[in-house]
Amino acid sequence: MILKGADILVRCLQDEGIEYIFGYPGGAALHIYDAVYRQDKIKHILVRHEQGATHAADGYARATGKAGVVLVTSGPGVTNTVTGIATAFMDSIPMVVITAQVSSHLIGDDAFQEVDTVGITRPCVKHNFLVKDVNQLAETMKKAFYVATSGRPGPVVVDVPKDITAQTAEYKYPKTINMRSYQPRTKGHIKQIERGIEILLQAKKPIIYSGGGVVIANAGPALTQLVDILKFPSTSTLMGLGAIPASNPCFLGMLGMHGTYESNMAMYECDVMLAIGARFDDRVTGELAKFSPNSKIVQIDIDPASIGKNVAVEVPIVGDCNEVLLVMNEQLKTKVDKIDRAAVEQWWEIINQWKTKDSLAYDLDDKVIKPQYVVQKLLEITKGDAYITSDVGQHQMWAAQYYTFEQPRRWINSGGLGTMGFGLPAAMGVQLAFPHEVVVCITGDASIQMCLQELSTCLQYGLPIKIINLNNQYMGMVRQWQEFFYDRRYSHSYMDALPDFVKLAESYGHIGMRVEDPGQVDDVLEAAFSMKDRLVFVDVITDRTENVYPMIAAGKGHNEMHLKPGDQDAQERELA
């Protein structure tokens, strides 16, 4: 069948089974937009800013595991997507971003709305393509989806000049693709798996440390099975929350800068560490020189470059987390009796001792609303079953600490890049993917203003997201660091001249609510969640000076956590 380039593009998306395109039109993209108009299989979601399109596609991808698709015009359309592409790249999220480009003959002439898209996006994509021949368009699209979704996933940009979208070619979408230069390894090396198991069986003080890779590989059930077989203490990174149910008795909570005391102490004191789909990020390890000084590390990751990058590893296992874990579990079933149960039991006693510190405890107040309480109340109202997106800051940490996730893909936040403005558009993507599920965006007074325009998109498509704005009238996380490390010099972390968020929500056609009295939190939240088919923006005026505890300060190790004020250790350990 002979088709125009623009129609080929859209047909490729149809044949790929794409449900939604998140996009924004413009000159170079007009042929493509015309092709979108002339079909009704794929729904196009018109955002209000291209950054919103990328985060929405990203949220869709995180919640479903399928690639998110973005369509934008050349020039400013492209530059507006860069933050969203980088956000997806840092968290290994599959995404295909179709960027229109000026016509081939104009490329390099500083034409109107021309940017070097391939050059600008190169460092923050898994791969990118410039399509130079309409006959290669379909194959390029196939490659884009293959690269984006296989191996360690990531965003892929396909840059399509306008003239290519007008030219015609025979359309045939390849069923499969084989690239000699890209053949991700998914099966773990059996010898390495066996070596890893040997080390696990010898452990006296083991810890399982899992990350976002487990979620991406859909390895949650396999990980949970492993934990149930081994009965080893387990912790998770911010990105891995939900892969193992928070209620699992072996789960110690999140680790890292704002992780639980018991998680971090166990990481420090352990003799064997099994790292699964986790990349030893600096927010997780604290000071590397002080990181887990006595442990042998077994690391499973699909990306060889993630293994041994920051921390030396005893047994590297390259492979898909799920495939490797399934093999491991099978082998372990017959070998579990080799575990030194007495030693591990003693280890659990030490850990239980650490748990008594109750590092997430906080004091309620009858005059000001404690943000932690709001998250706990949300957990209760939504029965722990909601999709939670967040922005970046204190509210993000409180969401991670107090909303205990029982399932993977429910906790949707920008971990690697830490992108303020992510929460609302990401929630749109999630809500579109799951129209009948409860989707909550936990945000802050500063973050929400970074992609606020998407409230308009939410109205257009009737997305009943619940926005919980933990409003401390500060860039709380910045303020917290300034309080601790800059002698309370609050340089530009104060959110002066905030809008009236209730009226703002109303002006966008949504429902706005405000709560300032701790006694009213329950009622207001109940009321907000009872409005099932409306977007409700709840402005929660919280304790302005609340801080996130516990905390590992810069340069400190896992065993040097700063606990909440009043804790003895906190007084003994001077910060900074």
Ligand X SMILES: Cc1ncc(C[n+]2csc(CCOP(=O)(O)OP(=O)(O)O)c2C)c(N)n1
Phi-psi region of 403 (alpha: psi -120 to 50; beta: other; left: phi over 0): beta
Catalytic residue among 4, 16, 22, 50: 50
Select 387 or 398, whichever has its Cβ closest to Mg ion.
Answer: 398
Catalytic residue among 4, 162, 296, 564: 162
Round to whole Å and give the CA distance between 130 and 163: 13
Q: State the nearest-atom distance from the C-beta of 374 to Mg ion, in Å.
A: 13
The yes or no reply on residue 108 touching another protein (CB under 8 A) is no
Q: Is 264 exposed, middle or buried (0-12, 13-18, 19+ CB in 10 A)?
A: buried
- Cα angle value 452/455/460 (rounded, 5°): 150
Among another protein, ligand X, Mg ion, none, residue 272 binds (CB under 5-8 Å by kind): none
Among ligand X, another protein, Mg ion, none, residue 566 binds (CB under 5-8 Å by kind): none
Q: Is 44 exposed, middle or buried (0-12, 13-18, 19+ CB in 10 A)?
A: middle
Tokens standing for residue 393 = 């800051």
> How far out from the chain centre does Cα 15 lie?
28
Q: State the nearest-atom distance from the C-beta of 55 to Mg ion, in Å.
A: 19
Beta bridge partners of 98: 71, 158
* CA-to-CA separations, 47 to 68, 69, 317, 421, in angstroms, rounded: 14, 13, 42, 14
Round to whole Å and give the CA distance between 434 and 461: 13
Q: Which stretch binds Mg ion (CB under 5 A): 108-116, 285-293, 445-453, 543-551?
A: 445-453
Of 4, 31, 126, 556, the one binding another protein (CB under 8 A) is 126
* Pair 433, 445: CB distance under 8 Å: no
The yes or no reply on residue 421 touching Mg ion (CB under 5 A) is no
User: Cα-flanking dihedrals φ and ψ of residue 139, to 5°?
Assistant: -65, -40
Round to whole Å and give the CA distance between 249 and 480: 32
Round to whole Å and give the CA distance between 519 and 545: 19
Select 279 or 514, whichever has its Cβ closest to another protein.
Answer: 279
Select 275 or 442, whichever has its Cβ closest to ligand X.
Answer: 442
Select 12 or 420, whichever has its Cβ closest to ligand X.
Answer: 420
The yes or no reply on residue 179 touching another protein (CB under 8 A) is yes
The yes or no reply on residue 573 touching another protein (CB under 8 A) is no
Among Mg ion, ligand X, another protein, none, residue 392 binds (CB under 5-8 Å by kind): ligand X
- Count Cβ neighbours within 10 Å for each residue of 66-85 and write b for 16 or more, e otherwise: bbbbbbbbbbebbbbbbbbb
Please confirm, yes or no, whether 175 is among the known catalytic residues: no
Catalytic residue among 39, 41, 112, 183: 112
Q: State the nearest-atom distance from the C-beta of 488 to Mg ion, in Å.
A: 17
Select 146 or 474, whichever has its Cβ closest to ligand X.
Answer: 474
- Amino acid letter at 215? V
Tokens standing for residue 520 = 């009213």
* Pair 104, 161: CB distance under 8 Å: yes
Please confirm, yes or no, whether 450 is among the known catalytic residues: no
The yes or no reply on residue 123 touching another protein (CB under 8 A) is yes
The yes or no reply on residue 142 touching another protein (CB under 8 A) is no
Please confirm, yes or no, whether 349 is among the known catalytic residues: no
Round to whole Å and give the CA distance between 376 and 379: 5
Please confirm, yes or no, whether 513 is among the known catalytic residues: no
Of 101, 236, 372, 472, the one binding Mg ion (CB under 5 A) is 472
Of 108, 249, 304, 462, the one binding another protein (CB under 8 A) is 304
Q: Which stretch binds another protein (CB under 8 A): 9-17, 123-131, 283-291, 369-377?
A: 123-131
Round to whole Å and give the CA distance between 169 and 138: 10
The yes or no reply on residue 109 touching another protein (CB under 8 A) is no
Which residue matches tokens 């104009």? 106
The yes or no reply on residue 444 touching Mg ion (CB under 5 A) is yes
Q: Which stretch binds another protein (CB under 8 A): 12-20, 66-74, 119-127, 192-200?
A: 119-127
Phi-psi region of 401 (alpha: psi -120 to 50; beta: other; left: phi over 0): alpha
Of 27, 308, 418, 499, the one binding another protein (CB under 8 A) is 308
Q: State the nearest-atom distance from the C-beta of 513 to Mg ion, in Å.
A: 18
Round to whole Å and give the CA distance between 77 and 50: 6
Which stretches within 277-340 are classed as H helix?
Answer: 282-285, 321-333
Among another protein, ligand X, Mg ion, none, residue 11 binds (CB under 5-8 Å by kind): none
Tokens standing for residue 181 = 């230069």
Tokens standing for residue 412 = 């949707």
Q: State the nearest-atom distance from the C-beta of 399 to ligand X, in Å.
A: 10
Q: Which stretch binds another protein (CB under 8 A): 180-188, 216-224, 262-270, 388-396?
A: 180-188
Q: What residue ranges bind ligand X (CB under 6 A)?
A: 391-395, 418-421, 444-447, 470, 472, 474-478
Number of residues that bind another protein (CB under 8 A): 19
Please confirm, yes or no, whether 113 is among the known catalytic residues: yes
Of 476, 512, 550, 557, the one binding Mg ion (CB under 5 A) is 476
Among another protein, ligand X, Mg ion, none, residue 85 binds (CB under 5-8 Å by kind): none
Residue 168's Cβ-side half-sphere holds a number of Cα atoms within 13 Å equal to: 4
Residues that bind another protein (CB under 8 A): 118-119, 122-123, 126-127, 130, 147, 178-182, 303-305, 308-309, 312
Residues labelled catalytic: 50, 112-113, 162, 477
